[in-house]
């Protein structure tokens, strides 16, 4: 019989999200990430996997499907965006797939098999047993998808991107339709490296049982399951697990993930060979671990050493007494005494004793002393005892360190420096760290450091923007000072703000009015409006800079009748930028053009003539200039002149305007109080607004 001490996989996820366990027609999801994504680069293609953390969210995938957005960033700063809708197969399609797609039969039963309420066990949560069942279903379903990538694709939980790219700067975003849930690769594609072998497989021999243990926490391959093989000669191998061995993690920051598997054997003292192979979330088998050789061995009846007395000898030494009981305790050949000045410090092996020793005089003891005894049997098995404590007379602790300075860079490297203590018995310092003031400090230095500087590598993330550091000084007998004053350091912000959104573009005669939903990030300093003409090869142009709260913007400079694309770029205090969606607007032509500028009129009594001056932007479609006159006693304007453009004089021509002049003989001075106006007609039937001439 072989025993797997781990659950079949991903029963995880449920307990944390029980509030989502009930069905509703419009799913409402708590804030926070409930969708995870990762990628795998195969050179000519990229595989993408994602996983919801609740059954309710997976039901949304079944009903609505998911949208995969692929954004490829080009060297010229532009980007190409494509979207693809991935839908979930209907129940009938699953029945047909069971004949040809491996794992689909298990997926079908997980998805559609019903359990009558009276057949459902009470469960550890009483009334929440339905939520427990949903979580178990989700865990089993994700596990089957992990082991078979084509099945993950069929479940709308995976996608293979076979479009090759020269530049390899691609971002993938998964959005569950009909919900607010999405997840993206952080910068480019967060591709996982090729699988690596499991490191350091340990064997624990027992009576006709060999237990294997290996550590999956530090393996970059992020294995989700394993196969175990054994051999009698290290040449012919046989897999001994009927189903993949799964691991279970709980919480946001799990402890080391020790995976354990026990193999029952027919006899003790027989040479056996084992090796382990990992399986990642893309269904890939990693390379085998190194081969380990072991034997099953019967247990010895030996209790762990127990320290029961640690008396002080002349205030200079500690006498340590312990017991070692058990029927086979006389077989112990070696014992090792370990000591440390603090339970969380490194323990030092003080001395090696024979198996009969039951006391030890520590002549190098400090003020605080923690001991444990380790016994070793003839088969090399260790029996580690519990801690014992011995103390010498009290000493004055050092003063807290002073002058702590903390500086961080954009990569998360935290550089600490401080002033030296002056105590003669000082041996060094210990560095402590915490993310929140409400948390306990974490010691970064396992042993004391003699330096007055320390570098801490801190992973930057979107949940924290600061950290706290403090120091303790320690003397040669283990006395530690109080904590130094805590110093707060601001961490570099590497997370782009949430994008703004252009909700609508209203096209009218005055231009295009955009309604903007600002970024939800509170550190956005400004938004920049970019405009691009509708031609395919045109470039984006920054047309204005807005405050982070601006919600309406009018583009009045867009040419009449022109169509353009708009986008908002949000920039935060650290210079991180993010792009909004692209919206299209068109300025409507109302056939009314701007009036002439700088219009004035002068009268020359000597020449008996009146001269009109005005300016207008350069145009090729001018039809005529119509001049109006209104007498002081008249309420109506009369046409004074209607002239072709060729009949007026061009005084000056600039890039932005043309200056015109027209002189008309009068046969007498104009009547006092007379007004003159100008209207310009165009070839397409449009006309300008009236311009009033100022009399000079």
pLDDT score, position 23: 40
**DSSP of 586-620:** E----SEEPPPEEEEEEEETTTTEEEEEEEE---S
Q: What is the mean pLDDT of residues 573-590?
A: 86
Q: Residue 393's pLDDT band (boundaries 50, 70, 90)?
A: confident
H helices, E strands: number in the chain: 5, 53
Separation of first and last alpha carbons in the chain: 111
CA angle 278, 191, 17 (to 5 degrees): 75
C-alpha distances (whole Å) from 520 to each of 141, 282, 503, 567, 582 are: 34, 34, 14, 17, 18
Residue pair 180/67 in contact by the 8 Å Cβ criterion: no
Closest to 485 (Cα-Cα) out of 418, 396, 401, 406:
401
Contact 22, 39 (CB under 8 A): no
Contacts of 654 (CB under 8 A, 6+ apart): none
Q: State the average pLDDT over residues 202-225.
A: 82
Structural tokens at position 363: 């002549």
Task: Give the contacts of 635 (CB within 8 A, at least 6 positions apart).
Answer: none
Q: Which residues pair with 268 in a beta bridge?
A: none
Q: How confident is the model at residue 7 (pLDDT cuts 50, 70, 90)?
A: very low
Beta partners for 264? Answer: 209
Least confident of 51-60, 80-89, 187-196, 284-293: 187-196
Q: Average pLDDT over the chain, rounded to whole? A: 83
Report residue 164's pLDDT band, with 50, 70 and 90 as the boundaries.
low
The whole-number pLDDT of residue 125 equals: 41
Class of the domain covering 306-391: mainly beta
Considering only 2-11, 456-465, 547-556, 557-566, which range has the smallest mean pLDDT?
2-11
Question: What mean pLDDT comes out for the span 406-414?
Answer: 85
Kindly state the average pLDDT of the residues 402-415. 89
In this structure, CATH architecture of domain 501-586: Sandwich (2.60)
Please say if the pLDDT value at position 484 is more than 60: yes
For residue 17, pLDDT over 70 is answered with no
Q: For 244-250, which contacts have Cβ atoms below 8 Å and span 24 or more sequence positions?
A: 244/147, 244/279, 245/4, 245/6, 246/6, 246/7, 246/8, 246/9, 246/10, 246/143, 247/6, 247/9, 247/216, 247/223, 248/6, 248/7, 248/9, 248/10, 248/11, 248/12, 249/12, 250/12, 250/15
Question: Are 229 and 221 a contacting pair, CB within 8 Å?
Answer: no
Sketch the domain layout of the chain as residue ranges: 2-192, 201-294, 306-391, 405-490, 501-586, 592-695
**DSSP 3-state of 55:** helix
248 pLDDT band, cuts 50/70/90, is low
- Asked which of 127-131, 368-372, 442-446, 627-631 is least confident by mean pLDDT, the reply is 127-131
Check residue 518 and report its DSSP letter.
-
Are residues 340 and 448 in contact, defined by beta-carbon separation less than 8 angstroms? no
Task: Please report the pLDDT score of residue 112 as a whole number.
Answer: 77
User: What is the number of other CB atoms lying within 10 angstroms of the CB of residue 236?
Assistant: 8
- Which pLDDT score, from 0 to 100, does residue 20 have? 37
Question: What letters, b where the CB count within 10 A reaches 16 and e where it falls short, cover 328-361?
Answer: ebeebeebbbbbbbeeebebeebeebebebeebe
Q: How far is CA 290 from the centre of its chain?
A: 34
Q: Return the closest-CA partner of residue 455 out of 487, 422, 408, 393.
A: 408
Q: Is the pLDDT of residue 250 over 70?
A: no
The pLDDT of residue 443? 92
More confident of the two residues 520 and 75: 520
Structure tokens at 501: 């959104």
| Residue 130 clears pLDDT 80, i.e. is over it | no
The 8-class DSSP code of residue 403 comes to: -
Report how far Cα 228 is from the mean position of its chain's Cα atoms: 34
C-alpha span between 524 and 545 (Å, rounded): 13
In this predicted structure, what is the pLDDT of residue 122?
55
Q: Look at residue 191 in the predicted model and tell me its pLDDT.
A: 46
**CATH topology classification for 405-490:** Immunoglobulin-like (2.60.40)
User: Residue 507: pLDDT band by 50, 70, 90 thresholds?
Assistant: confident
**Listed ranges 106-110, 215-219, 397-401, 424-428; the one with the highest mean pLDDT:** 397-401
Q: What percent of the chain lies above the pLDDT cut of 90?
A: 35
Superfamily of domain 201-294, CATH level 4: Immunoglobulins (2.60.40.10)
**In this model, does residue 438 exceed pLDDT 90?**
no
Q: Are strands 382-384 and 348-354 parallel, antiparallel or unpaired?
A: unpaired
- Strand ranges in 128-232 using DSSP code E only, listed in sequence order: 158-161, 170-176, 182-184, 191-192, 201-206, 209-215, 225-231
Comparing 624 with 6, the larger pLDDT belongs to 624
CB-CB contact of 71 with 189 (8 Å): no
In terms of average pLDDT, the best of 71-85, 217-231, 600-614 is 600-614
Domain 592-695 CATH assignment equals 1.10.3470.10:
no
């Amino acid at each position: 019989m072989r025993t797997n001490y781990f659950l079949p996989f991903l029963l995880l996820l449920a307990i944390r999200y029980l509030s989502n366990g009930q069905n509703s027609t419009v799913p409402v999801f708590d804030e926070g990430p409930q969708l995870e994504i990762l990628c795998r680069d195969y050179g000519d293609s990229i595989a993408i996997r994602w996983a919801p953390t609740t059954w309710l969210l997976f039901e949304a995938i079944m009903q609505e499907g998911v949208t995969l957005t692929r954004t490829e960033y080009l060297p010229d700063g532009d980007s190409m965006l494509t979207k693809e809708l991935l839908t979930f197969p209907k129940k009938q399609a699953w029945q047909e797939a069971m004949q040809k797609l491996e794992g689909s039969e298990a997926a079908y039963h997980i998805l559609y098999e019903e359990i009558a309420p009276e057949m459902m066990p009470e469960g550890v949560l009483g009334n929440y047993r339905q939520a427990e069942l949903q979580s178990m279903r989700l865990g089993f379903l994700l596990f089957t998808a992990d082991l078979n990538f084509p099945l993950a694709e069929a479940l709308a939980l995976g996608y293979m991107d076979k479009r090759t790219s020269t530049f390899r700067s691609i971002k993938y975003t998964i959005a569950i339709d009909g919900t607010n849930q999405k997840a993206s690769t952080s910068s480019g594609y967060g591709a996982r490296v090729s699988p690596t072998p499991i490191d350091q497989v340990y064997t624990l021999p027992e009576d006709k049982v060999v237990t294997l243990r290996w550590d999956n926490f530090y393996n970059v391959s992020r294995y989700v399951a394993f196969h175990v093989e054994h051999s009698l000669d290290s040449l012919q191998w046989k897999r001994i697990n009927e189903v993949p061995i799964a691991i279970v993690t709980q919480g946001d920051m799990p402890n080391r993930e020790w995976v354990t598997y026990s193999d029952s054997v027919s006899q003790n003292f027989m040479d056996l060979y084992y090796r382990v192979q990992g399986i990642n979330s893309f269904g890939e088998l990693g390379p085998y671990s190194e081969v380990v050789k072991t034997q099953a061995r019967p247990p010895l009846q030996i209790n762990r050493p127990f320290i029961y007395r640690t008396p002080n000898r002349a205030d200079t030494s500690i006498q340590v007494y312990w017991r070692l009981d058990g029927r086979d305790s006389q077989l112990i050949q070696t014992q090792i005494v370990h000591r440390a000045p603090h339970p969380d410090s490194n323990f030092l092996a003080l001395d090696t004793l024979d198996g009969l020793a039951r006391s030890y005089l520590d002549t190098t003891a400090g003020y605080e002393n923690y001991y444990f005894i380790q016994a070793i049997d003839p088969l090399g098995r260790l029996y580690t005892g519990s801690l014992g404590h011995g103390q010498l007379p009290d000493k004055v602790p050092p003063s807290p360190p002073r002058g702590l300075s903390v500086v961080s860079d954009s990569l998360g490297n935290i550089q600490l420096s401080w002033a030296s203590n002056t105590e003669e018995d000082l041996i060094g310092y210990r560095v402590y760290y915490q993310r929140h003031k409400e948390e306990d400090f974490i010691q970064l230095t396992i042993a004391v450091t003699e330096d007055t500087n320390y570098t801490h590598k801190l992973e930057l993330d979107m949940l924290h923007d600061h950290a706290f550091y403090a120091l303790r000084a320690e003397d040669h007998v283990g006395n530690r000072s109080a904590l130094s004053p805590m110093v707060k350091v601001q961490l570099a912000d590497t997370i782009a703000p949430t994008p703004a959104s252009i909700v609508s573009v209203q096209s009218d005669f005055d231009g295009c009015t955009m309604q903007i939903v600002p970024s939800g990030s509170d550190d956005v300093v400004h938004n920049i409006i970019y405009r691009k003409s509708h031609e395919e090869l045109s470039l984006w142009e920054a047309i204005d800079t807005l405050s982070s709260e601006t919600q309406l913007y009018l583009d009045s400079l867009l040419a009449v009748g022109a169509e353009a694309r708009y986008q908002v770029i949000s920039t935060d205090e650290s210079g991180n930028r993010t792009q909004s969606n692209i919206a299209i607007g068109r300025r409507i032509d109302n056939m009314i053009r701007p009036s002439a500028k700088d219009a004035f009129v002068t009268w020359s009594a000597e020449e008996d003539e009146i001269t009109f001056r005005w300016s207008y932007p350069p145009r090729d479609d001018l039809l005529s200039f119509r001049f109006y006159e209104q007498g002081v006693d008249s309420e109506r304007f009369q046409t004074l002149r209607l002239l072709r453009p060729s009949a007026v004089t061009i005084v000056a021509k600039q890039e932005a305007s043309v200056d015109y002049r027209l002189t008309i003989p009068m046969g007498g001075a104009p009547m006092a109080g007379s007004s003159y106006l100008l209207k310009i007609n165009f070839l397409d039937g449009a006309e300008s607004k009236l311009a009033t001439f100022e009399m000079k």
